Structure 1
Amino acid sequence: MPQHYPFTAVLGCDASDGTALDDLGLALVLTAVSPEIGGVLVRGQKGTAKSTAVRALAAVLPPIDVFADDRFSIDPEDPAATSPDGPFHDAATSSRPVRLVELPVGATEDRVVGSLQLERALSQGKVEYEPGLLARAHRGILYVDEVNLLHDHLVDLLLDAAATGQVSVERDGISVEHAARFVLIGTMNPEEGELRPQLLDRFGLTVEVAAPRDPTRRVEVVRRRLAFDSDPAAFVARHHASERALTGRIGDARDRLPKVRLAEAALLKVAEVCAAFEVDGLRADIVTARTAVAHAAWEGRDEVTLADIRRAALLALPHRRRRNPFDAPGLDEELLDRVLGDDELPPDPPEGPPPGDGGLEHESDSEPQSESAPDGGTGPETETEPPAEPGRPDQTGADAPEPGPGGPAQVQAPVAAGPAYRPRLLSVPGLGDGEAGRRSRARSTTGRRVGARPGADGTLDLVETLKAAAGAQADRGVQGRVALRGTDLRVAVREGKESNLVLFCVDASGSMAARRRMVQVKTAVLSLLLDAYRRRDRVGLVTFRGSGAEVALPPTRSVDVAAVRLEELPAGGRTPLAEGLLECARVIERERLRDPHRRPLLVVVTDGRATGGADAVARSQLAARHVASLGVATVVVDGESGPLRLGLAARLAELLGAEHLPVADVSAAVLTESVRHHTRTTNGAA
């Protein structure tokens, strides 16, 4: 068997000599002591030992007892536990190591929740359920590397399993329900995009990791890794004693956990801390309390102290506090210390709460946190951009922001959009393979049948399967019946519609700030947003003005949030067109990693002017060519209006290889009227 890097060899994860674990090691150990905490999210750049530490954790966990023939790993000591493979009356039990099950980002739904054993059903006529990854992870660890790139339909499955502890499968003529309680651990690189808010809240603890800056520590990391690579067996043997010591300490902490007392004063202090950081819902209080109890058990104490609450808050609250989308994660430790105070916790009155977890209810009984909590707060900044010299338009013809009553240039207050209308259909050309929706042509699970392909992932095409098997019967030497093999399976290929990623890139600079123009632009974008909702798209919003661009809304299905961001969008300042296009390119490249089958549609709303910094026009042209090189379907919605038009947006569309669409023509009614007018003219000429 291949040797895995030892957990205690990871710098900061060795507590065998009594030293304190770092945040990563402590979070992983505490969730192993008390799985009810809800798992760990590890954030950090590549090369920071995230995956190494997680994969090494399973080896230091105490083994579990299971029934020998049970594929679902129920606990033999739990009389209420049931398994689809049971019942197990007087069945033999065995002890085995805890499993670490890895969930690939590109896994299919069948692989995750399980499905019909198709080959056996066809060849033997038996309906048999094949367990998925969630069944294998029961009473173990489910690890998702690059969890922020996980497809939405897999996120939904994880949310359901995490909330209920059960997996229900109703498909392909089978009906199965089994337990799926696991420690969910995810790792991610924030540079590749953020995590969906609902899944983020399901992680009990979160940890930020970074490579050490101290040269001595960096040398030690390299020395250990080189030693492991040169002789893995010898390296693992050197750490065997520390690994076993850690396993014993985790087992002792589990035994102590039900005896730890969470006093009324400690529970009140947890509530005060959560209220001070303005977290939404009560899941934060529950997780912080459970983590404090686990930390006390880990430290060998029978009662929760302020030190336990402090450590718990630093791990449980950073990803739950209210913050703006681009605020750095973390917790204000000075505020935390002020709330905790220096005094010891007072003793309980004679009738205190029962021991062990303080009588807390199960996490799944709490109210779910609001989707907007992790990025709730104010919209884009509205600071005034330094104006250009009055009366001197730049080489593209863009005027500087007009001065307000007080003299200096002002950023225009947000204006509301007008009533939404039915927009014309914007779609991605070609034939895609994305998730079913209502926008662009695609091979999908719905729609008309256009052929068949080998495989078992999809809707079985029985006729084509039998045709494929029939051609091989002579070689198989079978008489009187059709012998099917896995290679004979064919699934239907259908053509329907797919959903897309619709990314809006909105110019909010001074040249677009005229009230009538901005109302017209916002109305067009709002209409396209509502259309994206009806067509089941993901939407994102990038805005640019002043000196840069920002992702006002990372790609999401929440069109409501996008509409709010649009409503709050101010206008004014210079036009950093290049920065806006480059930010869109970064978002598209990240989303392609997350979901390579979902094709993007970029909608750039601008008048085409570029005034942001030196060589603004040249840089915007280079940025446009870079976006064009990505092969993205693009539409430029031209926001220029008035009798004097420079045609800059049309030139931008040429560079992007995009469709040029005046903002007034976004409405489907305008297109319809244009067609009617053309028809009347043609008929009259005839």
Structure 2
Amino acid sequence: MPLHYPFSAVVGSDDMALALTLTAVSPQVGGVLIRGEKGTAKSTMVRALAGVLPEIEVVTGDRFSSAPDDRGAETPDGRIPTDAPTERRPVRLVELPVGVSEDRITGSLHLESALSEGVTVFQPGLLARAHRGILYVDEVNLLHDHVVDQLLDAAAMGRVTVERDGLSVEHAARFVLVGTMNPEEGELRPQLLDRFGLTVEVAAPRDPGLRAEVVRRRIAFEADPAGFAAAYADDERALRERIATARRVLDRVELTEWALATIARVCAGFDVDGMRADIVTARAAAAHAAWHGRTGIGREDIRVAARMALPHRRRRAPFDAPGLDEELLDRLLGDDDEPDPDPRDEEPQAENAEPSESADDSSSTDTPSTDQAPAGASAEHAEHETVPEPGQDSDGPAAPDSETSPGGPGSDATIADGGEDAQHDSPAGTEDAPATSADSDSTAGPAASQPGTVASASEPYRTRLFSVAGSGEGATGRRSRARTSSGRRVGAGEFTGSDLHLPATIRSAAPHQAARGRVAGHDGAEHTRLLLAPEDLRSAVREGRESNLVLFCVDASGSMAARTRMEQVKTAILSLLLDAYRRRDKVGLVTFRGFGAQVALPPTSSVDVAATRLADLPAGGRTPLAEGLLTTAEVLRIESIRDRRRRPLVVVVTDGRATHGPHALARSRAAAAGLASLGVASVVVDCETGRFRMGLAAELAAHLGAEHVPLGEVTADSLTRTVDVHTDRARTASRSEGAVAPAPRPDRAAAPTPTTRNEVA
């Protein structure tokens, strides 16, 4: 059995150590979600947790870790004898792989017994193995939706029910759910996020001495794992004894009226959703008091519990940064007198029950000073910092794009000063047309006359569903049709090792029974079971929804800054990003302005990062449309090498103008034709406004083979209004001709015309 890094040897992760310890003291807290950057000992500390947990007593030989009190109860293996012997064993830490199949989670039919012996035997899954232990999910935010659904059911009910392949099985599954994730890889579904009792943010220490100590200990462990573990054996034993003592004290911790009222005031003050936050905060505060040997809950216990139980429950929208305002927390806790703890209630610690230095630091100094960053804010703050444009100071306004501009710094200043490039974005879409339109950069108002102006987005809205035609085989999601591991069964195919399609398997084997020597059962002849061969096995083919790569190609030139147009554009993109978040898509962002294009965000699952980059996107300069399309094609090429199964959807947001370089319009059309040759599904969101429109975005959509959608029709509501308007006009025309208009059908929802590929989200 491989040795794990000792829990007490981890340094620089006090909040994480405390959260895991409180969950160990009181499993009813509901588990821990650990968010943080790469290389911060998240997995190391979780795997080490099992080594400091007290042993549990189980029924000997029971596959479901039944407790002694469960003797006499029914399990899938039958009734447990009331006199069944018991034994003590360490707590299990069961790891749930990201790519786990459904049958391995909840259990399935034991194929060998079914096919060779003709008997139905239940094979328990990972949730059964994790009963009364720890279920650990690394990169929990990358789990497929069908796996998340299974975890939600088990976490809510404390039981697992299996109804498939002729099985009807139910068994207990109460476990501590611990997940780790890197926010850069995407966020967690809100339903699963709420199931974690506590959440902490971790980051690598910035103190050079502490970093040196981390490296020193890690190298020592890798050089001699057994010797390193032996050096911390006493610290591990002391920590284990202190957890056991805290569990005994926990039964006597009293939730007073003062503590209950304070917890309710804090949760209400942070406007959290539901009542789970109050319950988790109360349990965590009790566990913290017991950890320090107290039977009364004080203000500091509530403060520590709130810092970990509330940040992930107060998020109002997917793009809101998690975290907790500690000044508000202190105000809500108030300074009213709390009941003085009775010195007689203090639980004496065992003589040798002090944990190691690092573990003790995580408990005795578990509440950082107020000048530290709030829990849940450090890593997320770094993620959401403003990313300056090339050539832009972090504290100043957006500067010209010197990295992609041949003219270097100050090139756009010539434009602003009315130099020879002042008419760079002409309304005709070519470099030779005069800048006479109201939408040209030189006459677009103050926003356009200052290259690099940053506009803010308004509140996002519900968008239409843009999907990829056909059926794919990408990761499970909620956008386009696909053959997935979950969904409705539509057929059978070659056996893949899971999801056996039993009827199809029998049909495949039936024609070969006589040749294999099976004797029919009649006139007293002996029956023989169905004779199967490996080539007879079939897996179910299921159809569901897949996630896609939604790649935004955004025009950020000067013409887009005219008359608050960029605010509308950013609002539309933010709304589409919110839709991508809900549908579990990957997103990328390519922008073009000035003299070239850049990849503002490589394809990622973190929609939060995309929203942040969008908020900081400046507008101004020429319109290098061809460069934007060529850069988009290159991003798609690279991404297809990384993941060929994920189908892309390109969303080009532009007014269709092209004003950079010679023959700009011709080059942009050639780039559009090249992108169309890749067979990529695409949508052109037309941002052109005003009374006189040139329709260049519609022409671009034709060259791309894309769907053309005016900016105002991105919303789902606009689609319904458009259909209603056309219906009303048709009725009016019918009445004017003396015809009788048919009565409206209230039960029939408005649908898009057959030529569109959109649906109402």
Asked whether the two chains share a fold, i.e. TM above 0.5, the reply is yes
1:51 correspondence with 2:97: no
1:455 correspondence with 2:503: no
Deviation at 1:60, TM superposition (A): 0.9
1:66-113 deviation digits (Å, cap 9, x = unpaired): 111211112113579653233222111111110000011111111101
Find the counterpart in structure 2 of residue 427 from structure 1: 468
Contact 1:113/1:133 (8 A) holds in 2: yes
Per the alignment, do residues 521 and 23 of structure 1 end up closer, same or farther by CA in structure 2, a change over 3 Å counting?
A: closer
Match runs of 1:140-155 below 5 Å? 140-155=133-148
Of 290, 302, 305, the match for 2:295: 302
| CA–CA separation in structure 1 for the residues paired with 2:6 and 2:255 | 34
Contact 2:132/2:175 (8 A) holds in 1: yes
Deviation at 1:448, TM superposition (A): 5.4
1:454-484 deviation digits (Å, cap 9, x = unpaired): 534242322465279879969xxxx984676
1:640-659 deviation digits (Å, cap 9, x = unpaired): 665535569839x98xxx53
Of 586, 592, 601, the match for 2:649: 601
Find the counterpart in structure 1 of residue 151 from structure 2: 158
1:662 correspondence with 2:718: no
Count, aligned residues = 603
Amino acid at match of 1:427: V
Find the counterpart in structure 1 of residue 509 from structure 2: 466
| CA–CA separation in structure 1 for the residues paired with 2:164 and 2:267 | 42
Find the counterpart in structure 2 of residue 389 from structure 1: 416
The percentage of counterpart residues that share the same residue type is 50
Find the counterpart in structure 1 of residue 29 from structure 2: 37
Of 128, 131, 153, the match for 1:135: 128
Deviation at 1:297, TM superposition (A): 0.3
Per the alignment, do residues 274 and 243 of structure 1 end up closer, same or farther by CA in structure 2, a change over 3 Å counting?
A: same
Per the alignment, do residues 262 and 149 of structure 1 end up closer, same or farther by CA in structure 2, a change over 3 Å counting?
A: same
| CA–CA separation in structure 1 for the residues paired with 2:630 and 2:20 | 40
Find the counterpart in structure 2 of residue 67 from structure 1: 59
Contact 1:101/1:141 (8 A) holds in 2: yes
Per the alignment, do residues 210 and 632 of structure 1 end up closer, same or farther by CA in structure 2, a change over 3 Å counting?
A: farther
Deviation at 1:5, TM superposition (A): 1.2
| CA–CA separation in structure 1 for the residues paired with 2:140 and 2:274 | 24
Find the counterpart in structure 2 of residue 284 from structure 1: 277
Match runs of 1:4-23 below 5 Å? 4-12=4-12, 22-23=14-15
Deviation at 1:179, TM superposition (A): 1.0
Contact 2:144/2:476 (8 A) holds in 1: no
Per the alignment, do residues 573 and 122 of structure 1 end up closer, same or farther by CA in structure 2, a change over 3 Å counting?
A: same
| CA–CA separation in structure 1 for the residues paired with 2:242 and 2:578 | 55
Deviates more, 1:168-177 or 1:440-449: 440-449
Deviation at 1:604, TM superposition (A): 2.8
Deviation at 1:37, TM superposition (A): 0.6
| CA–CA separation in structure 1 for the residues paired with 2:583 and 2:512 | 40
Deviates more, 1:142-151 or 1:398-407: 398-407
Per the alignment, do residues 132 and 640 of structure 1 end up closer, same or farther by CA in structure 2, a change over 3 Å counting?
A: same
| CA–CA separation in structure 2 for the residues paired with 1:80 and 1:65 | 16
1:24 correspondence with 2:12: no
| CA–CA separation in structure 1 for the residues paired with 2:65 and 2:264 | 37
Per the alignment, do residues 23 and 447 of structure 1 end up closer, same or farther by CA in structure 2, a change over 3 Å counting?
A: closer
Find the counterpart in structure 2 of residue 118 from structure 1: 111
Find the counterpart in structure 2 of residue 399 from structure 1: 440
| CA–CA separation in structure 2 for the residues paired with 1:174 and 1:515 | 64
Unaligned 5+ segments in structure 1 are: 14-21, 349-373, 375-379, 558-564, 674-686
| CA–CA separation in structure 2 for the residues paired with 1:113 and 1:590 | 34
Contact 1:288/1:316 (8 A) holds in 2: yes
Deviation at 1:663, TM superposition (A): 3.0
1:633 correspondence with 2:680: yes
Amino acid at match of 1:453: F
Contact 2:580/2:587 (8 A) holds in 1: no
1:198-236 deviation digits (Å, cap 9, x = unpaired): 111111111111111112111111111111111111111
Per the alignment, do residues 208 and 426 of structure 1 end up closer, same or farther by CA in structure 2, a change over 3 Å counting?
A: closer
| CA–CA separation in structure 1 for the residues paired with 2:43 and 2:460 | 47
Contact 2:60/2:87 (8 A) holds in 1: yes
Match runs of 1:207-356 below 5 Å? 207-322=200-315, 325-326=318-319, 328-342=321-335, 344-346=337-339
Match runs of 1:458-607 below 5 Å? 458-460=500-502, 461-463=504-506, 466=509, 481=528, 487-488=534-535, 490-492=537-539, 494=541, 498-501=545-548, 503=550, 505=552, 507=554, 511=559, 538=584, 573-574=619-620, 599-607=647-655
Deviation at 1:399, TM superposition (A): 3.0
Find the counterpart in structure 2 of residue 181 from structure 1: 174
Unaligned 5+ segments in structure 2 are: 342-379, 381-385, 387-396, 400-411, 430-438, 518-525, 720-750, 757-761
| CA–CA separation in structure 1 for the residues paired with 2:496 and 2:456 | 59
Contact 2:684/2:708 (8 A) holds in 1: yes
Q: Considering only aligned residues, what root-mean-square deviation do their CA atoms show, in Å?
A: 5.5
| CA–CA separation in structure 2 for the residues paired with 1:487 and 1:276 | 62
Find the counterpart in structure 2 of residue 650 from structure 1: 700
| CA–CA separation in structure 1 for the residues paired with 2:171 and 2:640 | 33
Deviation at 1:2, TM superposition (A): 1.4
| CA–CA separation in structure 2 for the residues paired with 1:555 and 1:124 | 46
| CA–CA separation in structure 2 for the residues paired with 1:530 and 1:267 | 37
